[in-house]
Structure 1
């Protein structure tokens, strides 16, 4: 009976992390769709010659200043990028945790991070990185 309890606890833990991973992936997809819609709206607003535009806030349509709308969309884009990047970085940790529970090696290259501008400049000055 003790072994069955351990197995059940293990399976619950694995399923919980797997569910979190799936939820995070769904959330990333939803946020990415919203980010693309904002990008499309910003593109349309940049082509517009009008001073005011219609903006949907929840289920309400509001006539709003064009420049203020662009500012709101830019701020929303920034926040969406932050949220997506945070979810993606947490997703990597959760995937590795799940693989640890399943006694599999970590995904190779999953935790790679791009070089910063400072690191790239240092390598290019030393002649190790073509710039």
Structure 2
């Protein structure tokens, strides 16, 4: 009788552990679904950020190409270069007659070139 009581108690304890493990497995699945629900919008927003970055890079390239096409001849005359990363025009060896080092003003040579470019655009 003692053996049968001991054996049945062992089965009861084993049955409790099985039901607890089933409960833990169920909780794990529920938390997994919750995690998936929260991760999905995050992945979508990261994709939007990637798309914006790609669009920005393409726009930068298009702007550089347009600036280079527009100022190709003038850059040689001005002794300047166009930086593709910052889209800046840098005067590498400016003519002292064209730029005043003490002030940020255009002298006649650059003013004449700018006016010529403006006249061409306004006639087109």
Higher radius of gyration, 1 or 2: 2
Higher strand share: 1
Point out which structure has higher relative CO (alpha carbons under 8 A, 6+ apart). 1
TM-score by shorter chain over 0.5: no
Higher helix share: 2
